[in-house]
Amino acid sequence: MANSKSIRIRVLQGDVIAFGPGKAALLLAIHQSGSISAAARAIGMSYRRAWLLVEAMNQCFKSPLVATATGGAKGGGAQVTAIGHEIIARYQAMQGRAEAAVAADMAYFDTLMVQPRDSGGN
């Protein structure tokens, strides 16, 4: 059975999560869709939650990670900025290095933890 346990890195700025797995997923979805609302739908998040996460990210970094355009005849849009793409790449690299660094410990935890039950239909 594949190891289903994992770690998640969160980058804090004081008490605020400046970047983490949810924000990374949202940025990737914005990149793919060109829209905050479409990205939110794609990852099962409310538009309000997605917008709040985008605002938080843009406030935590010196340059915005997402640039938005207000709606018009064709509607608004959003795009991940160059720094946003760099943050995604560095975050994914950090996540990979962290997982590799703790792989032996995670394997040990896995031997001591109850395995998840199969939900049947999956």
Domain segments of the chain as ranges: 11-112
Confidence band (pLDDT; 50, 70, 90) for 117?
A: confident
The whole-number pLDDT of residue 49 equals 97
The backbone torsions φ and ψ at residue 4, rounded to the nearest 5 degrees and listed phi first, read -100, -5
Whether domain 11-112 has CATH 3.40.50.720: no
- Please state, as a whole number, how many other Cβ atoms lie within 10 Å of the Cβ of residue 114: 5
Question: CA angle 66-13-79, nearest 5°?
Answer: 5
Q: In one letter, which amino acid is 52?
A: L
Alpha carbons 7 and 14: distance in angstroms, whole number: 21
Per-residue model confidence as pLDDT tens digits over 14-53: 999 999 999 999 999 999 999 999 999 999 999 999 999 9
